[in-house]
Amino acid sequence: MLELFQHIQKANMTLNGSLAFANDWNFFMKDLSTHLENLVPIGPYAGTLDAFATGVKLRTRYEHLLEAAIAANQTSFWTSSSQRVMDTAHYFGAGFFGLDKQDVAHLHVIPESADRGADTLTPGRTCFKYAHNADAHGHTYGYRMWEQWRAIYLPVIARRLEEQNPDLLFSESAVYSMQELCGFETIAKGESEWCDVFTHSEWEEFEYARDLLHYYRTGPGNPYSAPMGWLWLNATANLLREGPDAGPLFFSLFVLSISMHEPRLTRNSVHDGDMIPMLTALKILSKPEDAVENLPTSHILSNRTFRSSDIVPMGGRINFERLACPAPRRCYDNSEFGYPNMLYCEPEGTEDFFVRINVNDGIVALPGCEDGPGRSCPLDDFTKRVERRGKEVGDFREVCGLPRSARGGISFLHQ
């Protein structure tokens, strides 16, 4: 985006057509060196405001759980060490715990360092083979697939803009930056004239470019994704299995797990690239019949299941809710065994437990496991499913080329 801004400034000519507005346009950030890669602090959709509002929304939804968590002193939450993510965690904490959050909750910062092995919130940093592109499916895989599609759709748009402005040449990167500016400027200013530069079909092409990037970088199209995502999924499943014994409420910004008992509260702030692998490990980002080749780079697959705008919008989050529901009273006829009491009934007041998954305020059912209340999955079935997936995806250390002495799992998620 900065390159585009400088390109327009140096052109020293009057722009025409759909770009005419740019003659009087200024970049929405005054100090680019301090604002790029940081949380957007201004505008009606600012990242700071969104994080705070998310905290308020979840406090409203789970206030009774928060009260119990505070009473039990179970109010730790976690973040990775990226400044932008830490800032997001602080704003969320202010909305959820209150402005005096430092007196109520404790934020744990987990370093994004490569030496943490599997004991991390950011496995893309610690998976050696993935981070160092040891094979064709390292972290640049998504960018290569993304570039293949960009090379098809962006030159067409560039030619259209050049017809309106014959004295200017627009590179693929410049055109793509224009499309990105629509979103970033809207967040900061509430609107953007860059959005009107492109047609509806050109926005669909941009959407598909973003989907390809995420799908092959950290989604179902990358074989490293599920092993990386299983780490957090397994840690969450273990906590849901323990229930109140572990402290029943867990919170996180992008990955949120909640047990509907006396609360335990844990909140983990991570990147969208660390959120998608967990969903990939769950196998809910694609239809069972989907295959990697079904997301081509030569044309748009319009009926695809994977859409990054649904999964990782700004401030995206996932809720895992542990539901405790009254169990039906089961009775058994023991007459065939000759017992004096022919009919035995279980005690009243027992409960059955389920896991319900909420992705960005929409309930998403686990394929083949959605017969519980609210399309939830029985807790036992959920934990067995996670165990099976662990065997399918393989040991993180082995898959990633780490020594056996490296840390093998997440250890910090406890109150």
pLDDT 10s digits, 367-397: 899 999 999 999 999 999 999 999 999 999 9
Contacting residues for 318 by C-beta, under 8 A, at least 6 apart? 254, 255, 256, 275, 278, 279, 357, 358, 359, 360
Q: How confident is the model at residue 334 (pLDDT cuts 50, 70, 90)?
A: low
- Indicate whether 150 pLDDT > 60: yes
Alpha-carbon distance of 216 to 213, in angstroms, equals 6
pLDDT of residue 336: 65
pLDDT of residue 256: 45
Mean pLDDT of 275-287: 85
pLDDT tens digits for range 2-51: 677 666 767 677 899 999 999 888 877 666 555 556 677 778 888 889 89
Domain assignment of residue 339, yes or no: no
Q: How confident is the model at residue 252 (pLDDT cuts 50, 70, 90)?
A: low
Mean pLDDT of 292-314: 86
Domain assignment of residue 56, yes or no: yes
- Indicate whether 290 pLDDT > 80: no
Domain assignment of residue 273, yes or no: yes
CATH number at residue 81: 3.40.50
Alpha-carbon distance of 24 to 127, in angstroms, equals 46
pLDDT of residue 312: 86
pLDDT of residue 341: 61
Please say whether the beta carbons of 355 and 321 come within 8 A. yes
Chain mean pLDDT for the chain? 85
Contacting residues for 362 by C-beta, under 8 A, at least 6 apart? none
- Domain that includes residue 287, residue range: 46-131+221-321+391-400
Q: Which residue has the higher pLDDT, 81 or 289?
A: 81
Alpha-carbon distance of 282 to 249, in angstroms, equals 21
Look up residue 229 and give its two tokens. Answer: 């995502």
Q: Which residue has the higher pLDDT, 324 or 255?
A: 324
Look up residue 245 and give its two tokens. Answer: 């014994």
Domain assignment of residue 93, yes or no: yes
pLDDT of residue 324: 87
- Indicate whether 347 pLDDT > 80: no
pLDDT of residue 284: 87
Please say whether the beta carbons of 406 and 117 come within 8 A. yes
Mean pLDDT of 264-290: 66
Mean pLDDT of 313-332: 83
pLDDT tens digits for range 191-245: 999 999 999 999 999 999 999 999 999 999 999 999 999 999 999 999 899 887 7
Mean pLDDT of 137-142: 96
Domain assignment of residue 213, yes or no: no
Token look-up 């990633």 returns 400
Domain count, the chain: 1
Domain assignment of residue 343, yes or no: no
* pTM of this structure: 0.87
Q: Which residue has the higher pLDDT, 398 or 294?
A: 398
User: Torsions phi, psi of 120, nearest 5?
Assistant: -155, 160
Nearest to 252 by CA among 323, 322, 316: 316
Nearest to 202 by CA among 22, 409, 18: 18
pLDDT of residue 413: 87
Q: Which residue has the higher pLDDT, 275 or 341?
A: 275
Domain assignment of residue 33, yes or no: no
Look up residue 124 and give its two tokens. Answer: 């893309």
- Indicate whether 124 pLDDT > 90: yes
Domain assignment of residue 395, yes or no: yes
DSSP letter, residue 293: G
